[in-house]
Structure 1
């Protein structure tokens, strides 16, 4: 039996103590200091969710909102539409952003590109290349680093390569406390323009306490997840973006729906699932099986569990 990822015991214990009034530490300030170190951005705000972080970020953008045609997060488009922003869709290579495609767009001044650290959670974006193109062309970059914070390679969730970094700390993210979010920037004017949505998005000391605990070893947790995904990509035939770092595995297949159904039976999990089916804007817009390694408890990222997943998939392909 596989297990769904849950917040660490240290995080839940601390959140409980804060809720009972037994700890009055200012965990919001402690989180802000840690996140400054993690991202390199000076200005940090804690929010109630990742979507609220997106709301704050997009509220500050005066021009178009550029979104990838797949491999992003549906909230990008939903929130941009709610804010009455003009949405421009960017062609991608199965979610991966190629700056050459940006040349094909007709966009307004003060526009922003919003994307996730990993295309569809499957493949690491080239943040350095994206950042260089956007800086050279006056485009603001917004990286959703919900799955990228703590990157030991310092490519993802790095303030050098994103003007704004947002993240969810809900379940089952790398920083996993069930709710909450983060937004960071070096552009002071971003927060000056968005004071009202910030007030509406303010989170609690309870959530900040949990985030503070989860931040302690976020890099190690991400690395374990990346290594587990790499192991599967190396042992399953026909995976998408095989040579790219990621936190899930996507296998294109014309019979994806039936195979996914059989995998859910043969790879049972105690709570929410980790086998999903594409097409799905948040993954790829073609028939495929998505194995959400990021959803699994770290106890289930050991070789014996991963080999079981690989064997079951290979037997059905």
Structure 2
């Protein structure tokens, strides 16, 4: 085995096992709320049993008009919006990146749901997007599953996003194997979704895991971003080459062949390391995504990254 799929930390596993056997030793939910407030700056926080549950709460609590990027987001956005019978507008992007000028054409009092990183690969300019949305009274819902804990405070920041949600399932930055979080300064979101919140409430075992995983997320996120930057600086034909991200998407005319070769050369103990495009959740063009975000942090070494570069150079455009 060359690479290892990201798992909850040993401390997280031990804490969850202890809670399963002996019950909770503290109020884990209260601790999570306090930590998330410190990251997002939002006053109101709820913990859920999954990222999709957090999306469900967010979209249940806003108006009928939902704006979704045409690529580079999460297909669950559209699925949940359809389930709730929302009116969906598809926003054209540049390989998932939103141009704030395009927001001027959107309907007032809508809600825009997006991910911190387009396709996990290109950082959205949340500051510019936020300024444009405020002019149109558009609510920003940021899925910060990949952006929570940003030391630069450009992502997962309540100054820019009205609602921030995360998945805490595997292999996210907060990796408890399950669960989700949602935060906002708009208390009405939670006042209007009390029934939904009861349906998606997590158990104490998951709460304990999330609480432990919230420690050191800044370092975990930064290490992953730095690893991707190293790859982007040493590979050609990379989409969003100059942007921060958690994966590396390489344009290739034969993505099926490249992904097949890389999967066989870059061995990992689980699937989910190589993604073939076109793929709505990444980009809608021929490419292959190397999901650095899915790797255990022990694999983010120069030796391992150089191996990825070597194999990509060997097989690209064959």
Which TM bucket (shorter chain)? over 0.9
| CA displacement 1:244-270 (0-9 Å, x = unmatched) | 000000011111110110010110101
* Partners of 2:272 and 2:86 in 1: CA distance: 34
Secondary structure, in 3 states, of the residue corresponding to 1:199?
helix
Is the 8 Å Cα contact of residues 130 and 161 (structure 2) preserved in structure 1?
yes
* Partners of 2:65 and 2:301 in 1: CA distance: 44
Secondary structure, in 3 states, of the residue corresponding to 1:315?
helix
Shift of 1:63: 3.0
* Partners of 1:306 and 1:144 in 2: CA distance: 27
Structure 1 segments of 4+ aligned residues over 4 angstroms from their partners: none
| CA displacement 1:35-63 (0-9 Å, x = unmatched) | 11111000000000000000000001113
Shift of 1:22: 4.7
Matched with 2:48 is: 47
Matched with 2:133 is: 134
Matched with 1:4 is: 5
* Partners of 2:289 and 2:23 in 1: CA distance: 43
Matched with 2:300 is: 301
Matched with 1:82 is: 83
Matched with 1:248 is: 247
| CA displacement 1:201-249 (0-9 Å, x = unmatched) | 1111211111111111000000000000000001111100100000000
Matched with 1:64 is: 65
Bigger Cα displacement from structure 2, 205-214 vs 73-82: 205-214
RMSD: 0.9
Matched with 1:190 is: 189
Secondary structure, in 3 states, of the residue corresponding to 2:272?
coil
Is the 8 Å Cα contact of residues 169 and 179 (structure 2) preserved in structure 1?
yes
Shift of 1:24: 2.9
* Partners of 1:62 and 1:290 in 2: CA distance: 34
Secondary structure, in 3 states, of the residue corresponding to 1:103?
helix
Is the 8 Å Cα contact of residues 103 and 133 (structure 2) preserved in structure 1?
no
Matched with 1:14 is: 15
* Partners of 1:252 and 1:153 in 2: CA distance: 29
Secondary structure, in 3 states, of the residue corresponding to 1:277?
strand
| CA displacement 1:147-166 (0-9 Å, x = unmatched) | 00000000100111100000
**Which segments of 5 or more consecutive residues in structure 1 lack a partner in the other structure?**
none
Secondary structure, in 3 states, of the residue corresponding to 1:62?
coil
* Partners of 2:180 and 2:51 in 1: CA distance: 5
Is the 8 Å Cα contact of residues 104 and 132 (structure 2) preserved in structure 1?
no
Shift of 1:131: 0.6
Equivalent pairs counted in the alignment come to: 315
Matched with 2:199 is: 200
Secondary structure, in 3 states, of the residue corresponding to 1:56?
helix
**TM-score using structure 1 length:** 0.98
